[in-house]
């Protein structure tokens, strides 16, 4: 998110008297030695520049510039000592406000990536489980529905062409790869997400995970954006997991075959749990029997159609 912090001073009547325009004029006067030449360099009428400075001086109660007319050197303008001090203080204040605004924006509007992990080979399932029918649609679409409209930068990381095509049709960014390890999926996802304040890793084989739970996980993490946040049902932790930015270097350097749980195990005191009442939301699908059980729990007629390879 790109933001611009503009500082404008108002007089006792609520009228603007100083901001970026007058500050630029003062800098130009310092450089050019003339208000007229400074105004020309800014494509501003001399009369307008003069009026801006006079309004500022009237509100401040002191002169910002000292102007000389004619003479052997042709006259000109320079900043008064009070004008230089005011400009320095204005710019220092503006910088402090800009920095504070960045922190507030990060606090209230954090950038959150979401890596939908869809690279499983489905060996126990007997095929590409992510394209298996769940309630009349491929199971992978449940992950897209659970994360839709939540201001997340979503990236699907997969090695399946059919999954990639399905996600692209719905306007979701895809990283298609042929690398073997879970650590590869994590790294590729983080690289695609880019500069984010946190990143959620969401398995695409949890068809009963709800949008409400994903939203609650985000809200839970936003209370303390330095914590690793994950759902827990009873004493059983589950996915998805939302990792803060400070974990990214370690996630990028995971050993082959390792996932985010390695980082969680290293920092147990920095894990915040979102308590869940519904265990089925955290269950994933590894076999046709598990798919049937989850469909029955959701009141969906079981089907065992597996599309793709």
What pLDDT was estimated at residue 190?
Answer: 96
What pLDDT was estimated at residue 79?
Answer: 95
**Both tokens of residue 176?**
């298609």
Taking 70 as the pLDDT cut, the residues of the chain under it are 1-3, 69-75, 300-309
What pLDDT was estimated at residue 2?
Answer: 63
SS3 per residue for 70-120: CCCCCEEEEECHHHHHHHHHHHHHHHHHHHHHHHHHHHHCCCEEEEEEECC
The neighbour count for residue 228, using CB atoms within 10 Å, is 21
What pLDDT was estimated at residue 1?
Answer: 56
Tens of pLDDT, residue by residue over 245-285, are 999 999 999 998 899 999 999 999 999 999 988 888 999 99
- Please give the biggest Cα pair distance in the chain: 97
What pLDDT was estimated at residue 309?
Answer: 30
What pLDDT was estimated at residue 70?
Answer: 58
Using CA atoms, how far residue 95 sits from 100, 110, 219, in Å, is: 9, 21, 30
What pLDDT was estimated at residue 306?
Answer: 33
Q: What's the CA gap between 281 and 273, in Å, rounded?
A: 15
Tell whether omega for the bond before 240 is within 30 degrees of 0, i.e. cis: yes
Residues contacting 28, CB < 8 A, separation 6+: 37, 38, 39, 41, 42
What pLDDT was estimated at residue 127?
Answer: 84
* Of 116, 168, 113, 165, nearest in space to 142 by CA: 116
Residues, the chain = 309
Contact between residue 125 and residue 83 where contact means Cβ atoms under 8 Å apart: no
Indicate yes or no: pTM above 0.75. Answer: no
Q: DSSP secondary-structure letter at 132?
A: B
């Amino acid at each position: 998110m790109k933001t611009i912090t503009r500082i404008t001073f108002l007089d006792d009547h609520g009228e603007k008297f100083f901001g970026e325009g007058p500050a630029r004029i003062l800098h130009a006067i310092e450089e050019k030695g003339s208000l007229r030449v400074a105004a020309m360099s800014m494509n501003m009428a001399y009369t307008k520049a003069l009026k801006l400075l006079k309004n500022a001086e009237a509100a401040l109660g002191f002169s910002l510039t000292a102007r000389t007319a004619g003479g052997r050197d042709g006259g000109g303008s320079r900043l008064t000592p009070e004008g230089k001090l005011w400009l320095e203080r204005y710019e220092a204040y503006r910088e402090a406000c800009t920095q504070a605004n960045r922190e507030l924006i990060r606090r209230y509007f954090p950038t959150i990536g979401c890596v939908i992990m869809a690279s499983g080979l489905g060996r126990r399932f007997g095929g590409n489980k992510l394209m298996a029918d769940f309630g009349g649609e491929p199971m992978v679409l449940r992950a897209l529905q659970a994360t839709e409209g939540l201001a997340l930068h979503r990236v699907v990381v997969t090695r399946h062409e059919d999954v990639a095509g399905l996600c692209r049709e719905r306007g979701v960014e895809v990283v298609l790869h042929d690398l073997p390890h879970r650590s590869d999926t994590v790294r590729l996802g983080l690289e695609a997400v880019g500069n984010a304040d946190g990143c959620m890793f969401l398995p695409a084989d949890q068809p009963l995970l709800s949008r409400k739970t994903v939203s609650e996980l985000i809200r839970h993490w936003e209370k303390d954006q330095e914590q690793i946040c994950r759902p827990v049902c009873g004493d059983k932790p589950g996915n998805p997991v939302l990792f803060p930015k400070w974990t990214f270097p370690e996630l990028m350097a995971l050993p082959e075959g390792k996932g985010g749980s390695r980082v969680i195990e290293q920092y147990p005191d920095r894990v915040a749990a979102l308590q869940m009442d519904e265990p089925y939301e955290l269950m994933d699908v590894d076999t046709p029997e598990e798919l049937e059980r989850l469909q029955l729990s959701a009141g969906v007629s079981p089907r065992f159609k597996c599309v793709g390879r």
